[in-house]
């Protein structure tokens, strides 16, 4: 009996979408449905992996920007959102916790403060702040905004590690880690994040 070594997801009752979509390979094993990887996404990743870069002309990077990064970093304050995205791309964004004692003494910045998120404009306690590159201003961010930014930063960090040749996994393991990081961005943009107890 030939056993596949490809990573799989197991579905007890898979959606009918998988039966009609040729992008997915579906096998039945022991009365369970096993879903193998999406062949289009994997082909885009393999093509990108041959010459990894952050250039958006790559189908893989273009898809991630369109489906994950763009929506994840889209906030009410659009000008600041664009600046945040540029800082993340350039690896020049700093996120730091705000000391609880200074929360009450720091004056609010133009687009935020200790009780107003600079990115969403919503009144929320802001326990973190960001700094964009070498600029002097700090922008206070809510926990949900922080989760969205860190999810994108985690993705870029892993992609940069691949670019630099620091990841020593086989290509399928890299692909599944990229998919996990994309899921992290999707979950964060929906507003799910771990809360910090203080």
Q: Is the pLDDT of residue 122 over 60?
A: yes
Which pLDDT score is estimated for 124? 87
The kind and range of the H/E element at 94 are strand 93-97
CB burial string 24-48: b at 16+ within 10 A, e below: beeeeeeeebbbebbeebbebbeeb
Say if 4 falls within a structural domain.
yes
Examine the pLDDT at 137 and tell me if it is beyond 80.
Answer: yes
Domain that residue 7 falls in: 1-36
Q: Which helix (DSSP H) or strand (DSSP E) does residue 35 occupy? A: strand 32-35
Contact indicator for 126, 142 with CB cutoff of 8 Å: yes
* 106 domain-assigned: yes
DSSP letter for each residue of 125-181: ---EEEEETT-S-EEEE-HHHHHHHHHHHHHHHHHHHHHTT---S-HHHHHHHHHHH
Mean pLDDT across 122-145? 90
Q: Is residue 52 part of a domain?
A: no
Q: Is residue 156 part of a domain?
A: no
Dist CA 145 CA 127 (whole Å): 11
64 in any annotated domain: no
Domain-embedded: residue 3: yes
On the question of pLDDT at 117 being above 50, the answer is yes
pTM: 0.76
Q: Express each pLDDT in 23-34 by its tens digit.
A: 555 544 555 555
Q: Residue length, the chain? A: 198
Number of compact structural domains in the chain: 2
């Amino acid at each position: 009996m030939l056993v596949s070594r490809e990573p799989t997801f197991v579905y007890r009752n898979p959606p009918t979408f998988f039966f009609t979509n040729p992008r997915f390979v579906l096998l039945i094993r022991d009365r369970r449905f096993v879903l193998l990887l999406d062949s289009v996404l994997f082909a885009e990743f393999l093509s990108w992996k041959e010459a990894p870069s952050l250039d958006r002309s790559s189908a893989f990077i273009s898809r991630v920007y369109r489906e994950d990064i763009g929506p994840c970093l889209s906030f009410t304050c659009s000008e600041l959102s664009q600046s945040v995205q540029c800082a993340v791309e350039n690896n020049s964004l700093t996120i730091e916790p705000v000391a609880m004692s200074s929360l009450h003494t720091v004056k609010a910045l133009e687009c935020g403060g200790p009780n107003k998120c600079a990115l969403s404009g919503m009144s929320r306690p802001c326990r973190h702040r960001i700094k964009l590159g070498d600029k002097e201003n700090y922008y206070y961010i809510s926990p949900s905004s922080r989760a969205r930014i860190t999810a994108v930063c985690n993705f870029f960090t892993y992609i940069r590690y691949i670019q630099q040749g620091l990841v020593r996994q086989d290509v399928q393991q890299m692909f599944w880690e990229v998919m996990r990081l994309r899921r992290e961005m999707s979950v964060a943009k929906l507003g799910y994040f771990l809360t910090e107890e203080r």
